[in-house]
Amino acid sequence: MSAGWSRALFKGKVFGQGSFLKLGADVLNSRDDEGTNISQSVNLLVNADGSLSPFVLPGADERTAWSVDAWLKLGPFDLIGEYLQEHVNGRTVNGVPPGFANFTTDGFYVTAAYFLIPKKLQAVVQWQDLNPGQKGNDGIYSITRRPQLLHPRRRSQADGQLYPHLVGFPSGES
């Protein structure tokens, strides 16, 4: 079962500029069978070399995930962020243990953007942090900055295509 909520708490003008504040939240509860891919975005399973790949369950699980997000717009400035957490607990089925240890994944991102040329050129900075929670010290973070040229007919936010300026791994690897 999953549920989501999103609401604009404020929409109007601040200092004569179009502005709004939107908040959202999601929750998911699921019982998954062995072989289910629980990370469609290819970033949850921590491999022996520290790289990330999709997490296909080696056994059944029960999981609960939730997230909260916010978007503040003040004229040419946008501030967008999200925090998520997921608890993955192995489940014994017909006497067969799950084949993996329970873990909790959490992470967040914060994106700040400012239009240098209205609706055409936007400067964007994003900070992301993900802790897959499967091995000690397996957290990953990145700080990204870039200009973003926009199509003249539409105004969009950070499109998820990251061009890393700086990527750090707590273990000292790169």
- State the pLDDT confidence band at 174, using cuts at 50, 70 and 90: very low
6 in any annotated domain: yes
- Average pLDDT for 122-129: 92
Quote the number of domains for the chain. Answer: 1
Within 67-162, residue ranges assigned H as helices are none
Cα–Cα distance for residue pair 71/98, rounded to 1 Å: 39
pTM assigned to the model: 0.75
* Residue span of the structural domain in which 14 resides: 2-168
Other residues' Cβ atoms within 10 Å of the Cβ of residue 52: 17
- State the pLDDT confidence band at 124, using cuts at 50, 70 and 90: very high
pLDDT of residue 4: 72
- State the pLDDT confidence band at 120, using cuts at 50, 70 and 90: confident
For the stretch 131-150, pLDDT in tens is 888 887 778 888 888 777 76
174 in any annotated domain: no
173 in any annotated domain: no
Mean pLDDT of the chain: 81
pLDDT of residue 157: 40
In the sheet that holds 61-74, the strands lie side by side as 2-14, 17-32, 61-74, 77-90, 103-117, 121-131, 140-149, 166-168
- State the pLDDT confidence band at 2, using cuts at 50, 70 and 90: low
* Residue 154 predicted with pLDDT over 60: no
